[in-house]
Structure formats: C-alpha cells, structure tokens
C-alpha cells in the first residue's frame, strides 16, 4: 500500500489592505479617491494661490480643501500622486501618507503631522500643503 501524500493547507485569499483600515479611514479613503478621480483632468493650480483663496473664505468645506489639495499636491512631492481608483482593494504609499497626515490633524497630533510633512514634502510647500490638509481635516470633523 502506498502512502498518501500529506495535504498542504490551501493558502487563503489575502484580505485587501483596505479591510484593515478603521471605518472612519475607509470613508476618508473613498472621498480622497473620488476627489482625485475628478481632479485628474482638471488643470493644476498654483499652491500658494489656492491657499490664499481658501484662506480668504473660512467657510470652505472639506471637498473644497480636498480638491485644492489634489490640484496642488504634485508641487509638494515633485511628481504626480499615486491614487488608486475608487473601490480598488490596495493602498498606495501616497494614500497611506495622506490618510496618516489627515488623521494626525484630526486628532490634534501636531508632532506626527510635522513629521509627515517634513519627511515627504519639499520645504517650500510644507506649510501650504499642511494648511490644505488641516482644512480638510477640520471640514471632515465639522460634518
């Protein structure tokens, strides 16, 4: 009688990275992806001009800040941001970074927000990108 080969466990299908996000971050990721998709074909905006316009209107909403952020972010990271399509199960480095930055502002963690901006953004754009991300976080908290 021949020995039967041992059965190897079948690798389980890996869960998408987005399943590990807290529920609040999933909603934020979805909003960021939808906004990025709308802004893909929109003309780029000057970072400092966008901040000046939003600074003059303190009642601007989270979607307004998100749109300004995506239309100017490539000036801070010196390349187009890698944002996946809505519904994609993975997370890009840029998406993780944006979620971490906005989450730091939402919980009032200035040290983490400063670390994230200083390690990722060009020096000339740190303050302006931070202003847009903080405005987005504040707008999300007021909803």
- Is residue 41 scored above 50 in pLDDT? yes
Mean confidence (pLDDT) of the chain: 86
Question: How many other β-carbons are positioned within 10 Å of the β-carbon of residue 111?
Answer: 8
Is residue 14 one of the residues assigned to a domain?
no
Residue 6 has pLDDT above 60, yes or no: no
- Give the residue, 110 or 24, on which the prediction is more confident: 110
**What's the structural domain count of the chain?**
1
What is the band of 12 on the pLDDT scale with cuts at 50, 70, 90?
A: very low
**Residue 3 maps to a domain:** no
Cβ contacts of 3-9, under 8 Å, gap ≥ 24: none
> Residue 80's domain spans which residues?
22-141
Q: CA nearest 71: which of 93, 92, 50?
A: 50
Interval 35-54 mean pLDDT:
90
Q: Which residue has the higher pLDDT, 142 or 80?
A: 80
User: Tens of pLDDT along 46-67?
Assistant: 999 999 988 888 788 889 999 9
Structural domain contains residue 58: yes
- The pLDDT tens digits for 104-136 are 999 999 999 999 999 999 999 999 999 999 999
Is 52 a domain residue? Answer: yes
Tell me which DSSP letter residue 57 carries: -
């Amino acid at each position: 009688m021949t020995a039967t080969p041992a059965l190897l466990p079948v690798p389980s299908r890996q869960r998408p990275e987005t399943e590990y996000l807290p529920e609040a971050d999933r909603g934020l990721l979805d909003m960021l992806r939808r906004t990025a998709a709308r802004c893909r074909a929109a003309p780029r905006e000057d970072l400092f001009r966008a901040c000046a316009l939003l600074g003059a209107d303190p009642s601007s909403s989270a979607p307004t800040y998100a749109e300004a952020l995506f239309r100017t972010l490539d000036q801070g990271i010196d390349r187009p941001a890698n944002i996946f399509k809505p519904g994609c199960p993975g997370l890009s480095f840029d998406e993780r970074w944006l979620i971490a930055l906005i989450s730091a502002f939402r919980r009032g963690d200035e040290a983490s927000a400063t670390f994230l901006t200083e390690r990722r953004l060009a020096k000339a754009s740190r303050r302006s990108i931070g202003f847009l991300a903080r405005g987005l976080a504040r707008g999300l908290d007021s909803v």
